[in-house]
Amino acid sequence: MMNISETVSFEEAIAHTQAIMKQMEQGALSEDELEQTLTQLVATENGARGFFVTYLTDERPIADQPSSAVLHALTTSPEIVSELLVKNLAMSSAMAIAHRRNDNEQMAQGSDRVRSRTTNLIEQLNLPQIVEKLQQLNESATTGQGTYQGFLERWGYDAEQRQIIGDVSQSAMPS
């Protein structure tokens, strides 16, 4: 089992996650070891960002069906995890549009995969913090106001991208 530092950098978190995923694929980690390692990793924003950027974009199907150890670890840092999942949902949805406009279907499919995996995690985790942040994202995407307005402006999302962000944030909320 890895010991993840509380001062882990974004780059170190990516490297840790790549190593963890390789061990997962090889069956070299017990569920307990996996959960303990990921709990340490997602305890900080850098750790969680590095985890998600690697886990959600990985080519292997391992991230399509997160294990209970992965899900349990993610629930240990609900504020950090919910914020990053909601932003990943928005960014992957908007980037799929941008890639298709640029006739880059391969990149668009990668963004679609990230959106699908993110939606799956959101549904399985079902954290109240995620629902709250999805509502805030939906409000910002549809009204141009609110908590996520600065985030949407910083990335320069246009009307079509904000429309899809509004749609996916709405559909990801539990009914």
pLDDT tens digits, 89-107: 999 999 999 999 999 999 9
DSSP 20: H
* Nearest to 55, CA basis, from 19, 96, 2, 3: 19
**Neighbouring residues of 39: CB distance < 8 A, sequence distance ≥ 6:** 72, 73, 76, 77
pLDDT tens digits, 119-146: 999 999 999 999 999 999 999 999 999 9
Q: Within 10 A of 86 (CB to CB), how many other CB atoms are there?
A: 27
Domain boundaries, the chain: 1-76, 78-175
- Separation of alpha carbons 60 and 149, rounded Å: 34
Question: If you count them, how many residues does the chain have?
Answer: 175
- Characterize 30-49 residue by residue with b for buried, 16 or more Cβ atoms within 10 angstroms of its Cβ, and e for exposed: eeeebbbbbbbbbbbbbbbb
DSSP 146: S
- Separation of alpha carbons 12 and 130, rounded Å: 26
List per-residue pLDDT tens for the chain, 175 residues long.
678 888 999 999 999 999 999 999 999 999 999 999 999 999 999 999 999 999 999 999 999 999 999 999 999 999 999 999 999 999 999 999 999 999 999 999 999 999 999 999 999 999 999 999 999 999 999 999 999 999 999 999 999 999 999 999 999 998 7
Q: What is the pTM of this model?
A: 0.94
